[in-house]
Structure 1
Amino acid sequence: MRIHLGFLRRRSTEASLSTRPKPEEAKKWTESFDALMASKYGSSLYRAFLIREFSNENLEFWLAVEEYKQLKPQKMATKAQQIYNDFVAVQASKEINLDAETRLITLTNVQSNNPDAHAFDRAQRRIQHMMERDSYLRFLQSTLFLELVHTEHCPTSAGYVSDN
């Protein structure tokens, strides 16, 4: 399955085209995983790449933990259990690849009387490290990313509309 940049475009409206980053902005994503994730378009493009590779559970987990950290304390216990059940538990529907020690530490954190914003820190760091060493690097070498970065050489191939 091949995905082109048009895959992420909504309807061809002026508003949606204006959200498309310039090649210079996209090049900043090569600086770090955090730079990629700080960009709405960058994180969406990375997600599309991972879906194509059938390996989006790591990113889904990472994003769920980021959302979890922003919750009010009274909502954390329920969300922590949901994240654990969906991603961390053995045989979870979107099970992520964690070592037994990290899995146990995460379970202990989730089952505590008061899970806090740091309940998934170790697991999230491990998953981010795996993404940085593997899928993030593959993404930066992908046609999907390279077409966006090199659009200044060939604007029509990236889906830009000509004024002519």
Structure 2
Amino acid sequence: MRLLNLKSGLFLRRRNSDSPLSARPQPEEAQKWSESFAALMASKYGSSLYRAFLLREFSNENLEFWLAVEDYKNSKPQKMAAKAQQIYNDFVAVQASKEVNLDSETRLLILTNVQSNSLDSHTFDRAQRRIQHMMERDSYLRFLQSKLFLELAFPERYSSSSDVSD
């Protein structure tokens, strides 16, 4: 059983079980993650590994925001107001605990929608697109260059007998 040490206290083990994240993905699956950010996020293992990578870099607030918006978009209408307020408080408000980098116009548009209760599944679309674009240009590319990803996608070239440390 091989451990992948992610320096953040998280460990992913290679073993056989019914849990979707318990077994390492096949290299072909990991290679698909490099096709697009959407392909990475569509994979439970890929999105979890990307999250672990971001945690290690102390830059996970963008992904947390992106995932919170995905959850919001799939919410029942009666739960949207509370979830929208929570997303605003956690990520959008100036000095929020997990504040993401948004322009003032986008922040104001979201605040106006949240305060007026004119909410729908598109309330955060503009902000989510901006954050996704930032991730695609920065942390996603770093993830694709990390030993963690390379050893999963190309084990014949990058695997070693020791734990992955990068």
- Decide: shared fold, TM above 0.5: yes
Aligned-pair CA distance for 1:157? 3.7
Q: Residue 98 of structure 2 aligns with which residue? A: 94
In structure 2, distance between residues paired with 1:113 and 1:45: 35
- Show CA shifts across 1:86-140 (max 9, x none): 0000000000000111111111122222311111000000000000000000000
The answer as to 2:39 corresponding to 1:35 is: yes
Aligned-pair CA distance for 1:153? 4.8
Q: Give the conservation status (yes or no) of the 8 Å contact 1:23–1:152.
A: no
Q: Residue 81 of structure 2 aligns with which residue? A: 77
Shift in CA distance, 53/97, structure 1 to aligned 2, threshold 3 Å: same
Q: Give the conservation status (yes or no) of the 8 Å contact 2:66–2:132.
A: yes
In structure 1, distance between residues paired with 2:57 and 2:160: 26
Corresponding letter in the other structure for 1:88: V
Q: Which runs of 5+ in 1 are unaligned?
A: 160-164
Q: Which runs of 5+ in 2 are unaligned?
A: none
Aligned-pair CA distance for 1:151? 1.7
TM-score by length of 2: 0.85
The answer as to 2:16 corresponding to 1:14 is: yes
Q: Residue 53 of structure 2 aligns with which residue? A: 49
Aligned-pair CA distance for 1:156? 6.4
Find the partner of 2:107 among 89, 100, 103.
103
In structure 1, distance between residues paired with 2:121 and 2:150: 36
Aligned-pair CA distance for 1:155? 6.0
In structure 1, distance between residues paired with 2:11 and 2:42: 17
In structure 2, distance between residues paired with 1:156 and 1:105: 50
Q: Give the conservation status (yes or no) of the 8 Å contact 1:106–1:122.
A: no
- State the identity as a percent: 76
Q: Residue 138 of structure 2 aligns with which residue? A: 134
Q: Give the conservation status (yes or no) of the 8 Å contact 1:86–1:95.
A: yes
Q: Give the conservation status (yes or no) of the 8 Å contact 1:57–1:94.
A: yes
Q: Give the conservation status (yes or no) of the 8 Å contact 1:8–1:45.
A: no
TM-score by length of 1: 0.86
Instruction: Report the more deviating stretch, 17-26 or 104-113.
Output: 17-26
Shift in CA distance, 123/147, structure 1 to aligned 2, threshold 3 Å: same
- Give the 3-state SS of the residue equivalent to 2:155 in structure 1: coil
Q: Residue 3 of structure 1 aligns with which residue? A: 6
Q: Give the conservation status (yes or no) of the 8 Å contact 1:151–1:158.
A: no
Runs of 4+ in 1 over 4 A off after TM superposition: 153-156
